[in-house]
């Protein structure tokens, strides 16, 4: 793989398979079928086809595509439900759990053919989920890295904690942090490319790029292109200044 070839990044997908396919088509049109892509996590929840999104990414990786997927907090919540039978996480500041409409866990289970309200007990629901979710999907979630570095770019789902040396960073922050990361304006050791905090479109700052354009809420999934120290958004008509 040419280390000078374009590198593409895709923000939070949130079960929106049609948007993922649209983003992949744009990337292939710009960089070919062997384009390097980093996916920034939150593959599941909210959207209608988390199952299909995981199938698509796993199939691409198994086919040898140079794709890297980092773990998001929603991916972790789905994994925790399947392995620990828990809907809660201490980093959810709103106090709601994975089944709350705003988090979208029910939509994920429905994509596997599971009606979360059709089981009389939590144990019955968990049994049904473990039967319905392919073992390969759970293994995929369990083995996702929490960050990925390419030269001066650091790809991570949520962000990093400012002022903390890299060896002392809390890996949980990579999936969950908002403040003080979002308010930090000084340079980081890398340009941090992240998602996790949705907006109406991707946003570029001096020290970071937020690619969560709100696909989980029905907005377009717009990839970014990094090449030669420059960055563009990949719109329908091709590269656009960013």
Residue 121 DSSP symbol: S
Distance of alpha carbon 155 from alpha carbon 40, whole angstroms = 7
Q: What token pair was written down for 179?
A: 């403040």
Residue 61 half-sphere exposure toward CB, CA atoms < 13 A: 16
Residue 55 half-sphere exposure toward CB, CA atoms < 13 A: 13
**Are 192 and 152 contacting, i.e. CB atoms less than 8 angstroms apart?**
no
pLDDT at 21 over 60: yes
Q: Averaged over 172-197, what is the pLDDT?
A: 98
Q: Averaged over 35-62, what is the pLDDT?
A: 98
pLDDT at 1 over 90: no
pLDDT, mean over the chain: 96
Query: Does the model's pTM come out above 0.85?
Result: yes
Q: What percent of the chain has pLDDT over 70?
A: 99
Q: Averaged over 36-43, what is the pLDDT?
A: 98
Q: Averaged over 25-51, what is the pLDDT?
A: 98
pLDDT band at 4 (very low <50, low <70, confident <90, very high): confident
Q: What token pair was written down for 34?
A: 């062997």
Written as one string, the DSSP assignment of 176-218 is H--TTTTT--SPPSSEEEE-SS--SS-EE-SSEEE----GGGT
For residue 210, the model assigns a pLDDT of 98
pLDDT at 184 over 90: yes
Q: Averaged over 18-39, what is the pLDDT?
A: 98
pLDDT band at 41 (very low <50, low <70, confident <90, very high): very high
- Helix %, strand %, coil % of the chain (to 5): 30, 15, 50
**Could you tell me the end-to-end alpha-carbon distance of the chain, in angstroms, rounded to an integer?**
26
**Are 42 and 14 contacting, i.e. CB atoms less than 8 angstroms apart?**
yes
61-93 pLDDT, tens digit per residue, is 999 999 999 999 999 999 999 999 999 999 998
């Amino acid at each position: 793989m040419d280390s000078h070839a374009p590198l593409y990044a895709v923000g939070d997908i949130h079960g929106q398979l049609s948007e993922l396919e649209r983003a992949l088509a744009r990337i292939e049109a710009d960089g070919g079928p062997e384009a390097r892509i980093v996916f920034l996590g939150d593959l599941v929840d909210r959207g209608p086809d988390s199952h299909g999104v995981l199938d698509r990414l796993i199939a691409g990786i198994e086919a040898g595509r140079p794709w890297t997927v980092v773990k998001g907090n929603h991916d972790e919540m789905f994994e925790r439900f399947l392995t620990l039978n828990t809907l809660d996480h201490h980093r959810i500041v709103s106090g709601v759990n994975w089944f709350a409409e705003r988090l979208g866990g029910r939509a994920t289970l429905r994509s596997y053919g599971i009606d979360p309200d059709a089981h009389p007990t939590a144990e019955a629901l968990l049994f049904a989920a473990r039967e319905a979710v392919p073992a390969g999907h759970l293994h995929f979630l369990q083995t996702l890295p929490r960050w990925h570095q390419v030269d001066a770019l650091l790809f991570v789902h949520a962000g990093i904690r400012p002022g903390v040396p890299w060896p002392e960073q809390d890996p949980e922050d990579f999936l969950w942090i908002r403040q003080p990361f979002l308010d930090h304006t000084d340079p980081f050791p890398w340009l941090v490319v992240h998602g996790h905090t949705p907006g109406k479109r991707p946003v570029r700052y001096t020290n970071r790029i937020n690619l969560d354009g709100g696909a989980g809420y029905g907005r377009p999934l717009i990839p970014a292109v990094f090449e030669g120290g420059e960055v563009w958004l990949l719109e329908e008509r091709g590269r656009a200044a960013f």
